[in-house]
Structure 1
Amino acid sequence: MAPAPATAQANGLRLGLAARLALRELRGGLSGFYIFLACVALGTGAIAGVNSVSQMMTGSIASEGQTILGGDIRFESDNRDIGEAERAYVEELGTVSAGANMRTMARKPDGSDQSLVELRAVDNAYPLYGGFETVPPLPLDELFAEDNGVYGAAAAQILLDRLGLAVGDSILVGEASLKIRGVITAEPDSLSEGFGFAPRLMISRAALDAAGLIRPGSLVEFSYRVRLDESAGARDLAALREDATGRFPDAGWSIRTSQNAAPSLTRNIERFSQFLTLVGLTALIVGGVGIANSVRAWLEGKRGVIATLKCVGAPASLVVAIYLIQVMLIATLGVVLGLALGAVTPFLAASALSGVIPIAVSASFYPASLAVAAGFGLMTAFAFAVLPLGRAGEVPATALFRQQGFEAGALPRWPYLLTAGLTLLVLCMAAIWFADDRRIATVFVVAVIVAFAVLRLVGQAVQLIARKWPSVRSTPLRLAIGNIHRPGALTPSVVLSLGLGLALLVTLALIDTNLRRELSGNLPERAPNFFFVDIQSSEIDGFENTVSELVPEGKIIKVPMLRGRITQLNGEEVNADNVPPEARWVLRGDRGITYAKNQPENSRLAEGEWWAPDYAGEPLVSFSAEEAGEIGLNVGDTITVSVLGRSITARIANLREVEWESLSINFVMVFSPNTFAGAPHSWMATLSDPGADAAQEGEVLRTVTQAFPTITSVRVKDALELANRLVGQIGIAIRAAALVALVASVLVLAGALAAGNRSRIHDAVVLKTLGATRATLIRAYVYEYGLLGLATAVFALAFGGVASWFVVSRIMTLPSEFMPDIALLTLVGALILTVGIGLLGTWRVLGQKAAPVLREL
Structure 2
Amino acid sequence: MHGSLPSPVAPAASGAPASRFRLPLILRLALRELRGGLRGFAVFLACIALGVAAIAGVASISRSLTDGLAREGRRILGGDLSFGLIHREASPAERAFLAANGRVSTVAFTRAMATAADGGAALVELKAVGPDYPTLGALVTEPALAPADLFAERDGTFGAAADPALFARLGLKPGDRVTVGDARIALRASLAAEPDKLASGIGFGPRLLTSEGALRASGLLQPGSLNRWVYRLALPDAADARVEAVMEEARRTFPEAGWEMRSRLAADPRFATSVARFTQFLTLVGLTALMVGGVGVANAVRAFVERKRPSIATLKSLGAPGGQVVALYLTQVMLIAALGIAIGLAVGAVLPFLVDAAFGAALPVPLDPTIAPGELALAALYGALTALAFAIGPLGRAHDVAVSGLFRDTVDPDRRRPRPVYLAVLALALAGLVALAVASAFDRRVALVFIVAAGLAFGLLRAVAFGLMALARRLPRPRRAAPRLALANLHRPGALTPSIVLSLGLGVTLLVTLSLIDSSITRTLERSLPARAPNLFFLDIPSRDADAFDRFLGAAAPRGKIERVPMMRGRITALNGVPASQVKAAEEAAWVLDGDRGITYAEDLPDGSRVTDGAWWTPEQGRTPQVSFDAELARLLGLKVGDTVTVNVLGRNLTVPIANLRHVEWRSLGINFVMVFSPGTFRGAPHADLATLTLPEGPDAATEARILREAARTFPSVSSVRVRDALDAVSDLVRKLALAIRGASSVALVASLFVLAGALAAGHRARLYDAVVLKTLGATRRRLLGAYLLEYGALGLATAVFGLMAGSLLAWVIAARVMKIGFVFDAGSAILAALLAVAVAIGLGLAGTWRILGQKPAPYLRNL
TM-score normalised by the chain length of structure 1: 0.96
Partner-residue secondary structure (3-state), 1:126:
coil
Aligned to 2:69: 61
- 2:802 is aligned with 1:795: yes
Bigger shift: residues 442-451 or 42-51:
442-451
* Residues 409 and 488 in structure 1, CA contact (< 8 A), matched pair in contact too: no
- 2:108 is aligned with 1:100: yes
Partner-residue secondary structure (3-state), 1:649:
strand
Partner-residue secondary structure (3-state), 1:648:
strand
Tell me, in whole angstroms, the C-alpha distance in 1 between the residues paired with 2:384 and 2:550: 68
Aligned to 1:129: 136
Q: Which amino acid aligns with 2:300?
A: S
Tell me, in whole angstroms, the C-alpha distance in 1 between the residues paired with 2:259 and 2:679: 25
Partner-residue secondary structure (3-state), 2:255:
coil
Q: Which amino acid aligns with 1:134?
A: T
Aligned to 1:165: 172
Tell me, in whole angstroms, the C-alpha distance in 2 between the residues paired with 1:284 and 1:390: 21
For 1:45, which of 46, 53, 76 is the aligned residue?
Answer: 53
| Structure-to-structure mapping, 1:188-587, within 5 angstroms | 188-230=195-237, 235-404=241-410, 407=413, 409-472=415-478, 475-523=481-529, 525=531, 527-576=533-582, 578-587=584-593
User: Alpha carbons of 1:662 and 1:803: their partners in 2 closer, same or farther (altered >3 Å)?
Assistant: farther
Partner-residue secondary structure (3-state), 1:578:
coil
User: Alpha carbons of 1:574 and 1:849: their partners in 2 closer, same or farther (altered >3 Å)?
Assistant: same
User: Alpha carbons of 1:824 and 1:401: their partners in 2 closer, same or farther (altered >3 Å)?
Assistant: closer
Bigger shift: residues 846-855 or 241-250:
846-855
- The Cα offsets for residues 613-662 of structure 1, whole Å up to 9 and x where unpaired, read as 33255421111111111111111111111111121111111111112233
Q: Which amino acid aligns with 2:569?
A: R
- The Cα offsets for residues 415-435 of structure 1, whole Å up to 9 and x where unpaired, read as 111210121111111111011
Tell me, in whole angstroms, the C-alpha distance in 2 between the residues paired with 1:196 and 1:652: 31
Aligned to 1:3: none
- The Cα offsets for residues 363-382 of structure 1, whole Å up to 9 and x where unpaired, read as 22111111111000011101
Partner-residue secondary structure (3-state), 1:216:
coil
- 2:83 is aligned with 1:75: yes
Tell me, in whole angstroms, the C-alpha distance in 1 between the residues paired with 2:842 and 2:337: 29
Q: Which amino acid aligns with 2:356?
A: A
For 1:28, which of 14, 17, 36 is the aligned residue?
Answer: 36
Unaligned runs of 5+ in 2: 1-13
Tell me, in whole angstroms, the C-alpha distance in 2 between the residues paired with 1:490 and 1:47: 30
- The Cα offsets for residues 330-377 of structure 1, whole Å up to 9 and x where unpaired, read as 110110011111111111111343243245433221111111110000
* Residues 48 and 340 in structure 2, CA contact (< 8 A), matched pair in contact too: yes
For 1:684, which of 690, 694, 699 is the aligned residue?
Answer: 690
Q: Which amino acid aligns with 1:502?
A: V
Cα RMSD after superposing both structures: 2.0
* Residues 790 and 830 in structure 1, CA contact (< 8 A), matched pair in contact too: no
Tell me, in whole angstroms, the C-alpha distance in 1 between the residues paired with 2:532 and 2:18: 78
- 2:704 is aligned with 1:697: yes
Tell me, in whole angstroms, the C-alpha distance in 2 between the residues paired with 1:37 and 1:411: 26
Aligned to 1:12: 20
Tell me, in whole angstroms, the C-alpha distance in 1 between the residues paired with 2:125 and 2:359: 23
Unaligned runs of 5+ in 1: 1-5
Aligned to 2:10: none
Partner-residue secondary structure (3-state), 2:89:
coil
* Residues 505 and 800 in structure 2, CA contact (< 8 A), matched pair in contact too: yes
Q: Which amino acid aligns with 1:781?
A: Y
Shift of the alpha carbon at 1:819? 1.0
Aligned to 1:636: 642
Aligned to 2:764: 757
User: Alpha carbons of 1:311 and 1:726: their partners in 2 closer, same or farther (altered >3 Å)?
Assistant: same
Partner-residue secondary structure (3-state), 1:538:
helix
Bigger shift: residues 39-48 or 796-805:
796-805
User: Alpha carbons of 1:93 and 1:33: their partners in 2 closer, same or farther (altered >3 Å)?
Assistant: same
Q: Which amino acid aligns with 1:708?
A: F
* Residues 508 and 834 in structure 2, CA contact (< 8 A), matched pair in contact too: no
Tell me, in whole angstroms, the C-alpha distance in 2 between the residues paired with 1:408 and 1:106: 80
- The Cα offsets for residues 786-819 of structure 1, whole Å up to 9 and x where unpaired, read as 2222222222221121222233334555432101
- The Cα offsets for residues 500-544 of structure 1, whole Å up to 9 and x where unpaired, read as 233234223322331232123343545321211111112222222
Tell me, in whole angstroms, the C-alpha distance in 2 between the residues paired with 1:515 and 1:534: 33
Shift of the alpha carbon at 1:403? 4.2
Tell me, in whole angstroms, the C-alpha distance in 2 between the residues paired with 1:26 and 1:525: 69
Bigger shift: residues 694-703 or 837-846:
837-846
Bigger shift: residues 61-70 or 773-782:
773-782
* Residues 82 and 261 in structure 2, CA contact (< 8 A), matched pair in contact too: yes
Tell me, in whole angstroms, the C-alpha distance in 1 between the residues paired with 2:713 and 2:459: 65
- The Cα offsets for residues 462-521 of structure 1, whole Å up to 9 and x where unpaired, read as 223333444446543332232222222111111211222332342233223312321233
Shift of the alpha carbon at 1:320? 0.4
Shift of the alpha carbon at 1:235? 4.8
- 2:646 is aligned with 1:659: no
Bigger shift: residues 330-339 or 602-611:
602-611
User: Alpha carbons of 1:651 and 1:754: their partners in 2 closer, same or farther (altered >3 Å)?
Assistant: same
User: Alpha carbons of 1:151 and 1:422: their partners in 2 closer, same or farther (altered >3 Å)?
Assistant: same
Tell me, in whole angstroms, the C-alpha distance in 1 between the residues paired with 2:787 and 2:242: 74
Shift of the alpha carbon at 1:576? 4.7
Aligned to 2:6: none
Tell me, in whole angstroms, the C-alpha distance in 2 between the residues paired with 1:576 and 1:516: 39
* Residues 35 and 751 in structure 1, CA contact (< 8 A), matched pair in contact too: yes
Shift of the alpha carbon at 1:828? 2.5
For 2:628, which of 622, 635, 653 is the aligned residue?
Answer: 622
* Residues 77 and 222 in structure 1, CA contact (< 8 A), matched pair in contact too: yes
Number of aligned residues? 850
Tell me, in whole angstroms, the C-alpha distance in 1 between the residues paired with 2:694 and 2:505: 46
Shift of the alpha carbon at 1:853? 3.5
Identity of aligned residues (%): 52
* Residues 790 and 827 in structure 1, CA contact (< 8 A), matched pair in contact too: no
User: Alpha carbons of 1:634 and 1:353: their partners in 2 closer, same or farther (altered >3 Å)?
Assistant: farther
Shift of the alpha carbon at 1:233? 5.5
User: Alpha carbons of 1:101 and 1:266: their partners in 2 closer, same or farther (altered >3 Å)?
Assistant: same
Q: Which amino acid aligns with 1:837?
A: L
* Residues 391 and 406 in structure 1, CA contact (< 8 A), matched pair in contact too: no
For 1:785, which of 783, 787, 792 is the aligned residue?
Answer: 792
* Residues 107 and 171 in structure 1, CA contact (< 8 A), matched pair in contact too: yes
User: Alpha carbons of 1:76 and 1:311: their partners in 2 closer, same or farther (altered >3 Å)?
Assistant: same
Shift of the alpha carbon at 1:174? 0.9
User: Alpha carbons of 1:667 and 1:352: their partners in 2 closer, same or farther (altered >3 Å)?
Assistant: farther
Aligned to 1:710: 717
Tell me, in whole angstroms, the C-alpha distance in 1 between the residues paired with 2:278 and 2:654: 38
Bigger shift: residues 842-851 or 717-726:
842-851
Partner-residue secondary structure (3-state), 1:523:
coil
Tell me, in whole angstroms, the C-alpha distance in 1 between the residues paired with 2:110 and 2:414: 67
* Residues 319 and 393 in structure 1, CA contact (< 8 A), matched pair in contact too: yes
TM-score normalised by the chain length of structure 2: 0.95
Tell me, in whole angstroms, the C-alpha distance in 2 between the residues paired with 1:657 and 1:309: 73
User: Alpha carbons of 1:203 and 1:21: their partners in 2 closer, same or farther (altered >3 Å)?
Assistant: same
For 2:726, which of 719, 724, 742 is the aligned residue?
Answer: 719
Partner-residue secondary structure (3-state), 1:137:
coil
Tell me, in whole angstroms, the C-alpha distance in 2 between the residues paired with 1:7 and 1:427: 42
